[in-house]
Amino acid sequence: MAFSSSPLHILLSKIYTAGVEAVRPASLVRQAMKVDALSSTLHIDGKQYQLQQNVLVVGFGKAVLGMTVALDSLLKGHIKRGIVSVPLGTTLQYSTEALVDSNIKVIEGAAYNLPDPPAETAAREILQLVGEASDGDLVVALVSGGGSALLPVPGIGISLEDKRKTIESLSAAGAAINELNIIRQCLSQVKGGKLAAKACPAQMLGLILSDIVNDPLEYIASGPTIPQLPDNTLALKIIKKYDKMESLPKPVLNHLSQLHLNSAVSATPSSAHVHNVLIGNNSMATRAAEKEARSHGCDVVTWSHAVQGEARDIGYFYAEIACDIMNKKIKGIDITERIKTLTNSLSLSVPHEDIERLYNEVLSFQHESSNRLCIISGGEPTVTLHGNGKGGRNQELALSFAKHIHHLMQRELEITTKQQEKGKQEVKGGKSNVLFCSIGTDGQDGPTDAAGAIVNGESWSNALRQGLDPDRFLKENDSYSFFSTAQGASHVKLGLTGTNVMDIHILLIE
């Protein structure tokens, strides 16, 4: 299902949708570049490129089809040939009629965001096309999140299965996206700037939609268009960090060991022929979501675009914030001590100053004009697998929130009841409703057909009344099965959205 018809669910749907609409790739491409038809000149980011039927187009990522349609329209007549690699099912979600007469070939692969033979075929065709570029050509590379899985050309001596097992093993151990992409760069013939090197002497223009915290271009889709000298020593350090030196495929370990030995003699690649432009990111989505929430009378705090850490710990953190607000504890809190308590007990990769700003902004609201508070944030948490269940980081985060908001509210109720019995506290009128969602902007959360999930303050207790053991689902990393079974908590199933700027978290308190 998508969103239910309750007023709060409808509001949450509108806020999330506004965020996604703001990062539609076709619109972002049109905003970023202008074409002067009279002089056949492409203008972008202060640079100019002469158009003379000299454009080659390559692309890889979840947002690339929309980017391709816009680019084909803008450069019609100047594109000699193109190949783009997009996720399986993309062309079913979005019409390719606009590309019927195009010179750009669309190849689907990487089902559930995992590299596979169709994606490898597309990647090798892209590599060959870029290698055919000559002086005077312009290679336009369309890049977005998901591009790592859609552009797999393993290093010599490494199979696609070797590479896939390596990434899956490290991901299951809790490796962050930047760490995974360092490994991918070292195991690839195209990533880490190698595709850009292949384009020389032609010019290369990269249009990039970010799906990584703080937008490091060298890591988005593993940085194939970013000339760089990868630190090959880091790859082995990452593998050792997650205790995988004995379990990864031997060809991978041998390859990385050889790179480590040769790292001192590597030459810095030339970047003179390459220009990369960031055209969209998570902050654009959360700003649009904030604007939508304000238009519905909400007090809004747009908290952070860099939420990282263990998904279940982040769910716990949001529950703590919600409980503090609902129980009107904010005014009496020593914020410094509160932050210290939270960060010492939870795996959060969020700066202390961001958490302090969140508390201070919430404290500043007097709620005279609104009875709704909306906290919006974005980022990309990780999941360390402990069980063999099915799910994704957004579903696990939402399930963790449901657990902890239930237990925190139960604890507060017990404290209040005891104080009332002793005559120390009057019964306060009014009851807060809380709704929380964690949803991927790409419409896909892990190897599932869900984008994320929505929970409220009753989701956990409803599951218990239903005879379910929600804690078991959480312990087994089986959030997908929980949301497929539980009443009063729901999946968000949207299909592929055609964009990808990490996740959006929305906390609504009424």
Do 317 and 442 have their domain in common?
yes
d(CA 142, CA 85): 10
Please indicate, yes or no, if residue 149 is contained in any of the structural domains: yes
Helices 25-32 and 64-74, packing angle to 10 deg: 40
Q: Are 65 and 92 in contact (CB under 8 A)?
A: no
Per-residue confidence (pLDDT) for residue 268, from 0 to 100:
60
Single-letter code of the amino acid located at 237 = K
Instruction: Judge contact between 270 and 488, C-beta under 8 A.
Output: no
Same domain, 51 and 89: yes
Q: Are residues 195 and 52 part of one domain?
A: yes
User: Above 80 in pLDDT, residue 433?
Assistant: yes
Q: Rounded mean pLDDT of 401-419?
A: 87
Q: Which pLDDT score is estimated for 326?
A: 84
pLDDT, residue 2, reads: 59
Q: Position of tokens 């202390």?
A: 352
On whether both 149 and 275 belong to a single domain, the answer is yes
The answer to the question of residue 417 being in a domain is yes
Q: What is the pLDDT of residue 126?
A: 98
What secondary structure does DSSP assign to 102-133, as a single string? -SEEEEEE-GGG---HHHHHHHHHHHHHHHT-
Query: Taking a C-beta distance cutoff of 8 angstroms, is the pair 383, 180 a contact?
Result: no
Indicate the range of 9-23, 89-103, 398-412 predicted with least confidence: 89-103
3-state secondary structure of 142: strand
Rounded average pLDDT over 211-225:
95
| Tokens found for residue 313 | 């710990």
What would the pLDDT profile of 127-168 be if each residue is shown by its tens digit?
999 999 999 999 999 999 999 999 999 999 999 999 999 999
Which of the pair, 160 or 510, is modelled with greater confidence? Answer: 160
Residues 6+ apart with CB under 8 A from 132: 56
Whether the predicted pLDDT of 196 surpasses 50? yes
Strands 503-509 and 373-379: antiparallel
Task: Provide DSSP, 419-430.
Answer: HHHTTSSPPPP-
CATH of residue 131: 3.40.50.10180
Average pLDDT of the chain is 91
- The Cα–Cα gap between 92 and 408 comes to 44
Q: Is residue 337 part of a domain?
A: yes
* 293-303 residue pLDDT tens: 999 999 999 99
The answer to whether residue 265 scores a pLDDT higher than 80 is no
* DSSP per residue, 428-445: PP----EEEEEEETTS--
The answer to whether the beta carbons of residues 436 and 375 sit under 8 Å apart is: no
pLDDT of residue 413 exceeding 90, the answer is no
CA torsion sign, 85 to 184 to 476 to 324? negative
- 305-314: pLDDT as tens digits: 999 999 999 9
> Last residue of a domain, which of 280, 315, 344?
280
Residue 266 has what pLDDT?
55
User: What is the structure's pLDDT at 197?
Assistant: 94
> Is residue 213 located within the same domain as residue 337?
no
| Pairwise CA distance, residues 11 & 17, whole Å | 10
Distance CA 71, CA 39 (A): 18
pLDDT recorded at residue 427: 44
Q: Cβ atoms within 10 A of the Cβ of 84, count?
A: 26
**What pLDDT is attached to residue 34?**
97
Strand partners, 56: 81, 139
DSSP 490: E
Structure confidence at residue 352 as a pLDDT band (50, 70, 90): confident
pLDDT band at 430 (very low <50, low <70, confident <90, very high): very low
Q: Which tens digit of pLDDT belongs to each residue from 316-336?
A: 999 999 998 887 766 677 888
Report the b/e string of 222-244 with b at 16+ CB within 10 A: bbbbbbbebebebbbebbeebeb
Higher pLDDT, 437 or 415: 437
How far apart, in whole angstroms, are the C-alpha atoms of residue 338 and residue 344?
10
Question: Measured at the alpha carbon of residue 15, what is the angle toward residues 9 and 20, in degrees to the nearest 5?
Answer: 120
Residue 69 lies in a domain: yes
Question: Does residue 415 surpass a pLDDT of 90?
Answer: no
Which of 280, 302, 318 terminates a domain? The answer is 280
In the chain, % of residues over pLDDT 70: 94
**pLDDT greater than 60 at residue 106:** yes
Domain boundary among 280, 300, 315: 280
Residues 329 and 414 in one domain: yes
Contact 98, 69 (CB under 8 A): yes
Question: Taking a C-beta distance cutoff of 8 angstroms, is the pair 400, 316 a contact?
Answer: yes
pLDDT in tens, 461-488: 999 999 999 999 999 999 999 999 998 7
Looking at the domain assignment, is residue 160 inside a domain? no
Number of Cβ within 10 Å of residue 468's Cβ equals 17
| DSSP state letter for 169 | H
Residues 433 and 378 in one domain: yes
DSSP H helices, 33-87, are 64-74
How many structural domains compose the chain? 2
Question: Quick check: helix, strand or coil at residue 311?
Answer: helix
Indicate whether 263 pLDDT > 90: no
pLDDT confidence of 423, banded at 50, 70, 90?
A: low
For residue 175, being part of any structural domain is answered with no
Same domain, 214 and 309: no
First and final C-alpha spacing in the chain? 24
Quote the strand ranges of 365-416, DSSP E. Answer: 373-379
Structural domain that includes position 468: 283-509
349 falls within a domain:
yes
Mean pLDDT on 95-108 = 89
CATH number at residue 437: 3.40.1480.10
Lowest average pLDDT, out of 78-82, 347-351, 417-421, 495-499, goes to: 417-421
- Listed ranges 336-340, 408-412, 490-494; the one with the highest mean pLDDT: 490-494
Which residues, including other chains, have CB under 8 Å from residue 403's CB and lie 6 or more apart? 315, 319, 460, 470, 471, 474
CB 111 within 8 A of CB 105: no
470 prior amide bond cis, ω within 30: no
Q: Considering the domain boundaries, does residue 59 fall inside one?
A: yes
pLDDT at residue 350 in the model: 81
CA distance 120 to 103: 21
Question: For 8-21, what is the mean pLDDT?
Answer: 96
Q: Supply the pLDDT for residue 97.
A: 80
Shared domain check, 207 and 130: yes
Least confident of 17-31, 65-79, 336-350, 358-372: 358-372
Whether residue 316 sits in one domain with residue 276: no
Residues in the chain: 510
Shared-domain flag, residues 311 and 414: yes
Q: What is the pLDDT of residue 429?
A: 42
Q: Are 311 and 454 in a shared domain?
A: yes
In angstroms, rounded to a whole number, what is the distance separating the alpha carbons of residues 100 and 87? 19
